[in-house]
Structure 1
Amino acid sequence: MTDQHTTAPTAPTVTVGQYLATRLVQLGADHVFGLPGDFNLSLLDQMVTVDGFTWVGTANELNAAYAADGYARLTRGIGALVTTFGVGELSAINGVAGSYSEDVPVVKITGMPSTSAKAAGLHLHHTLIDGDYEHFYRAYREVTASATLLRAASATRDIDAALMTALRESKPVYLGISADVAIAPVHAANLRTPLVPARSDLGELERFTEALAEAVAAQSRVTLLVGPQVHRTGLEPLIRSIADHDGVYVAAQNMSKAVLDESHPASLGTYMGAFTRIDEAREAVDDAPLLVLAGTVMSDFLTGFFTQRFDEDAAIELGLTTARIADTTYYGVRLTDSLAALHRVLGDSHRPAVEPVGHPPVPEAPEVVPGRALTQAHFWAAVQEWLQPGTTVVADAGTSFYGALDLVLPDDSALLGQPVWSAIGYTIPATLGACVAQPDHRAVLFVGDGAAQLTVQELATILHRGLTPVVFVLNNDGYTVERKIQSPEAVYQDITPWNWTLVPAAFGAADRIVTATARTDDELAAALATAQETTGKAVLIEVVLPALDSPRLLTELTQAISAAAAKAASVKP
């Protein structure tokens, strides 16, 4: 859940910009990402005057959206970004759409032209020269839970309503703030009381708890399949408490990998339908006497392309704002309370202890053959041996994410990725957000060369802020996922080659990072040792891999995709 801070001004009035910034700080979003532009300068001038507010300038607006998204995921609260009107907000909209797709509460703030300019329909820059200033506001209505153009008279009410919507629905919201509205005075009284997240309907919660106790009492074993919405609401500690009850197993969808430490006896690891690594773990989910779906998302990549065998309708379903048992839905029962009810019910009943299943063996350190060219299999086995507890693993879509999914993460670690929206390039700016959000956990980023070329500018921000992630650039000479699916030799699968170890110098930050290139087993071993020893600087390791090599899980997935595509192509229209 969000950390509530008590920051409140002592003056009777504040500006709209100060009011918004104070609310963000109160909700734990004290780092705000973005870029200045002439239409948001008055707004930013007000926001930066608020105690506790920290501005994090990024290289472009898309990266700001990705950084705010990563920040929100790791703080289990909200993230925020500010852009200028038109050109800036359109650059950010892809990132905000990803946040909507993956249930991440991000506040998208746009600095807009003055209300008088809009009323007159002036043909200003950053517009479509048609006098309509709401084109982009309407676009954001498609990818946010609410979109509001603030007026001074109702600004405090509308800001609070938008922030409450983001918290309640775990979705992005949009605020458009004209330059004159940003500096308008408003009453500060409401800021004395921090916003409180929505609570469950007590009557519905009581009915649900009674039905839940009846359903659980009849079963000797309960299996939880935990999805990403548990992460969004910061409920990992509650999942750990539930896992400590006898007769309980816990599996995670891939977007919530390691929601429970994978060394825990109740852990079934990561569930992906037919692509689940351990057969016994898959069976423990698919054949569970009682299956509880906790904050799950039933999309293609999270279900192993819909190969789950369990009956979703027969499972107990705990969503962000509703719960369901059989054919009865309990509206207004929030995930926080439904999981707490499950914890209480399990504590009031008794069942035999579980026998640990589904724990993939942690592989031994791979043999290092000097001069032998690296492979994906050797690389991930070496990384498995090298990872330390308390790590935030960040993995970009493609070879990086599906290689990381097969890792057995050390305790107190987490995997940050974007498998539903799957926008390549997401992770470098998301690593910025993660490092700012969790400075006590070292971030370890895995990103492909093609993905890195989209957003590598944000590495400069990471380095100049003194952040110290370890970055693995998997250089396999192009778009390996697409090569594995279709047309591996096509010209569109290629990318321009970069000298990755010289990139930090171009950013003016060569003294803030240690770089290495690993082409062979022994070069990788030396680079990993260097990364382990280097704690006061960032580390970038270019890992040179074959173009058509891929991790185990990605190989299986792309074979399935290729087979499905071939079958579809063979069907006559």
Structure 2
Amino acid sequence: MSDFPTVTSPDAPDHTPDHTPDRTPDDAPRSAPRATTVTVGQYLATRLVQLGADHVFGLPGDFNLSLLDQMVTVDGLHWVGSTNELNAAYAADGYARLRRGLGALVTTFGVGELSAINGVAGSFSEDVPVVQITGMPSTSQKAEGAHLHHTLIDGDYEHFYRAYREVTASATIVRAATATRDIDAALMTALRESKPVYLGIPSDVAVATVHAANLRHPLVAATSDAGELARFTTELAEAVASATRVTMLVGPQVHRRSLEPLVREIADHDGVYVASQNMSKAVLDESHPASLGTYMGAFTRVDEARAAVDEAPLLVLAGTVMSDFLTGFFTQRFDEDQAVELGLTAARIADTTFYGVRLEDSLRALHAVLGQTSRPAVTAVGHPPIADAAPPVPGAPLDQEHFWAAVQGWLRPRTTVIADAGTSFYGALDLVLPDESDLLGQPVWSSIGYTIPATLGASVALPGRRSVLFVGDGAAQLTIQELSTVLHRGATPVVFLLNNDGYTVERKIQSPAAVYQDIAPWDWTLVPAAFGAADRVVTARATTQDELAAALELAHATTDKALLIEVVLPPMDSPRLLTVLTEAIAHAAQRR
């Protein structure tokens, strides 16, 4: 079947969300063959649907209205309106991570695209393929240098396009004559490099007519160079043959390529250990005998797990990112140069780099080579969960230790755990996640407030899963308005609002009593009512151990509504991992 778009009237109502079971881009909806010509907006929308990005986030603005009117006529495309453009970028990012494919957002020129640029920069930092689509003034207005609103009143319409060139893998202002090529090239770049791309579409170009012939064939990701892959496989076989044990450290790029099932198959070979970086926690179920849990250099929770990575006879770095927060501030003891490195588009064995070898193929080669050799079975290292919470003491105040211990026993399999930068993320990292669960966070870019809009993206991407969000009060004040979108779309996440009266991470690093560490106090349990969603959410407030126990029981019993649980914690208390990390940061700052 070809994939020409089925189009409806531009005046058709907005698409409503589809509450279908978990779905991957491979079984995303396909459009029926109808039109032989389409508008540029329809062409772009059809390509997004073909690639599984069938939900587009954003806001309308006068320069993108013509574009949106064309895009929403394409069957299978669903519009998800956000409360601001930054949140739309965060939501598209979360959607792309959970769908293991593209995310997309549409903004208006200038004010809208600049609002979104922080979110897109985070996607670039963390290898998330997001398509940022900006509706621009017409080509004639640009040519005239007209002093329009949303411009800098200097006749230059490319200021913001140039800004996006710094935070995307490609930035293109689409021309009518080359529109299909421009769009396809940008989408292929996003897929190939797992990075965001920018498409600026002038209002007249959005409605220009182009041939639909290319849409017969959905875009296909690039393949590896056959010769380089063969050379890599031969040398990999030699390296594996002499190794008594193989340890694989798995990074977030494995998620971007949807390669978790292949990691599980590799983990089933004898003599293989698998550790994850914190941005890919639970890439292998943490109950698996080969799992070492999360590796963070000196801050790895279990000494034996750290040794299994640092002292591995053969270490394979699969899709890793060697940044400060992912390596325990560069306290890893292994020699990166002597490891086998499997990157998104190249592989390396010691001093030899094999260009054009894609991550999916290098991992398949590793799987095949391991199947042709033998090693003794590994001894399960284990990474015990946080100690069970003691029975709640009525009236006893909460602290971080008791809270996370209680959460450990409360979590259930097949949960998407979402944790904001700071207290929430580093508390969640010490959890042993139940099987078939994910941790969604942003430890490299670490933009606080990311997770509430990302929860929107996650709930749209995987409507059959329940999300559990941990977010601090300071972070929540940046983006809490997107919770209204989550609730009004009918999602039922459990939101733990960790109220520790300000910016605890910064307090732990320096100047804890400084006025800039404080935030305005909010009555968090009244927020859903202010959003007009009181009937869609159950709220609770926990200041003591027994109140937390009751709130957790309520969360298990309530599945048809969202829950917002405000958890009141001491301002200077922090989870184990955050305590040691902030001490390291503070010590480094003192040395400077």
TM-score under structure 1 length normalisation: 0.98
Instruction: Please tell me whether the aligned partners of residues 250 and 266 of structure 1 are also in contact (alpha carbons under 8 angstroms).
Output: yes
Aligned counterpart in structure 2 of residue 428 of structure 1, from 452, 477, 500:
452
Match of 2:80 in 1: 56
Instruction: Please tell me whether the aligned partners of residues 83 and 111 of structure 1 are also in contact (alpha carbons under 8 angstroms).
Output: yes
Q: Does the residue aligned with 1:553 lie in a helix, a strand or coil?
A: helix
Instruction: Please tell me whether the aligned partners of residues 8 and 192 of structure 1 are also in contact (alpha carbons under 8 angstroms).
Output: no
| Cα displacement (A) at 1:440 | 1.7
Instruction: Please tell me whether the aligned partners of residues 221 and 288 of structure 1 are also in contact (alpha carbons under 8 angstroms).
Output: yes
Q: 1:148-205 deviations in whole A, cap 9, x for unaligned?
A: 0000110001100000000000000000000000000000010010000111001100
Correspondence 1:101-250 to 2 at 5 A: 101-250=125-274
Q: Does the residue aligned with 1:56 lie in a helix, a strand or coil?
A: strand
Aligned counterpart in structure 1 of residue 365 of structure 2, from 341, 356, 370:
341
- What stretches of structure 1 of length at least 5 have no aligned partner? 569-573
Q: Does 1:321 align with 2:345?
A: yes
* In 2: Cα distance, 1:377 partner to 1:517 partner: 18
Aligned counterpart in structure 1 of residue 292 of structure 2, from 263, 268, 276:
268
Match of 1:94 in 2: 118
| Cα displacement (A) at 1:10 | 1.7
Match of 1:481 in 2: 505
Q: Does the residue aligned with 1:3 lie in a helix, a strand or coil?
A: helix
Q: 1:502-533 deviations in whole A, cap 9, x for unaligned?
A: 00000000000000000000000000010111
Aligned residue type for 2:248: L
Instruction: Please tell me whether the aligned partners of residues 268 and 359 of structure 1 are also in contact (alpha carbons under 8 angstroms).
Output: yes
Instruction: Please tell me whether the aligned partners of residues 496 and 567 of structure 2 are also in contact (alpha carbons under 8 angstroms).
Output: yes
Instruction: Please tell me whether the aligned partners of residues 427 and 576 of structure 2 are also in contact (alpha carbons under 8 angstroms).
Output: yes
Q: Does 1:537 align with 2:529?
A: no
Correspondence 1:248-327 to 2 at 5 A: 248-327=272-351
Moved over 6 A (4+): none
* In 2: Cα distance, 1:343 partner to 1:50 partner: 41
* In 1: Cα distance, 2:582 partner to 2:441 partner: 19
Instruction: Please tell me whether the aligned partners of residues 163 and 173 of structure 1 are also in contact (alpha carbons under 8 angstroms).
Output: yes
| Cα displacement (A) at 1:114 | 0.5
Q: Does the residue aligned with 1:92 lie in a helix, a strand or coil?
A: helix
| Cα displacement (A) at 1:308 | 0.2
Match of 2:60 in 1: 36
Instruction: Please tell me whether the aligned partners of residues 4 and 194 of structure 1 are also in contact (alpha carbons under 8 angstroms).
Output: no
In angstroms, what is the RMSD of aligned CA positions?
0.8
Aligned counterpart in structure 2 of residue 16 of structure 1, from 40, 49, 53:
40
Aligned residues: 568
Match of 1:3 in 2: 26
* In 1: Cα distance, 2:498 partner to 2:56 partner: 30
Match of 2:381 in 1: 357
Instruction: Please tell me whether the aligned partners of residues 446 and 472 of structure 1 are also in contact (alpha carbons under 8 angstroms).
Output: yes
- What stretches of structure 2 of length at least 5 have no aligned partner? 1-23
Q: Does the residue aligned with 1:59 lie in a helix, a strand or coil?
A: coil
* In 1: Cα distance, 2:137 partner to 2:385 partner: 59
Q: 1:251-289 deviations in whole A, cap 9, x for unaligned?
A: 000000000000000000000000000000000000000
Match of 2:392 in 1: 368
* In 2: Cα distance, 1:22 partner to 1:312 partner: 43
Match of 1:571 in 2: none
| Cα displacement (A) at 1:4 | 6.2
| Cα displacement (A) at 1:362 | 5.0
Aligned residue type for 1:279: D
Q: Does the residue aligned with 2:317 lie in a helix, a strand or coil?
A: strand
Aligned residue type for 1:3: D
* In 2: Cα distance, 1:468 partner to 1:232 partner: 26
Instruction: Please tell me whether the aligned partners of residues 9 and 188 of structure 1 are also in contact (alpha carbons under 8 angstroms).
Output: no
| Cα displacement (A) at 1:2 | 4.2
Q: Which moved more, 1:559-568 or 1:171-180?
A: 559-568
| Cα displacement (A) at 1:365 | 3.7
Match of 1:525 in 2: 549
Aligned residue type for 1:25: V
| Cα displacement (A) at 1:358 | 3.7
Aligned residue type for 1:108: Q
Instruction: Please tell me whether the aligned partners of residues 8 and 22 of structure 1 are also in contact (alpha carbons under 8 angstroms).
Output: no
Aligned residue type for 2:125: S
TM-score under structure 2 length normalisation: 0.95
* In 2: Cα distance, 1:517 partner to 1:226 partner: 38
Instruction: Please tell me whether the aligned partners of residues 376 and 551 of structure 1 are also in contact (alpha carbons under 8 angstroms).
Output: yes
Q: 1:327-384 deviations in whole A, cap 9, x for unaligned?
A: 1000000000000100000011111111000422452242210000000000000000
* In 2: Cα distance, 1:540 partner to 1:223 partner: 40
